[in-house]
Amino acid sequence: KAGVTQTPRYLIKTRGQQVTLSCSPISGHRSVSWYQQTPGQGLQFLFEYFSETQRNKGNFPGRFSGRQFSNSRSEMNVSTLELGDSALYLCASSLVTTSDPNEKLFFGSGTQLSVL
Partner 1 sequence: AQKVTQAQTEISVVEKEDVTLDCVYETRDTTYYLFWYKQPPSGELVFLIRRNSFDEQNEISGRYSWNFQKSTSSFNFTITASQVVDSAVYFCALSEARGANNLFFGTGTRLTVIP
Residues of this chain that bind partner 1 (CB under 8 A): 3-4, 31, 33, 35, 42-45, 48, 55-56, 58, 88, 90, 92, 94, 96, 101-110, 112
Q: Provide DSSP, 28-95.
A: T--EEEEEEEETTTEEEEEEEEETTEEEEE-S--TTEEEEE-TTS-EEEEE-S--GGG-EEEEEEEE-
Nearer to partner 1, 31 or 86 (CB): 31
Nearer to partner 1, 27 or 109 (CB): 109
Phi then psi dihedrals of residue 106, to 5 deg: -110, 125
Length of the chain: 116
Closest separation in Å from C-beta 69 to partner 1: 18
Rounded Cα distance between 61 and 33, Å, is: 17
Nearer to partner 1, 59 or 70 (CB): 59
Nearer to partner 1, 11 or 88 (CB): 88
Closest separation in Å from C-beta 62 to partner 1: 18
Rounded Cα distance between 58 and 25, Å, is: 20
Closest separation in Å from C-beta 84 to partner 1: 18
Closest separation in Å from C-beta 101 to partner 1: 3
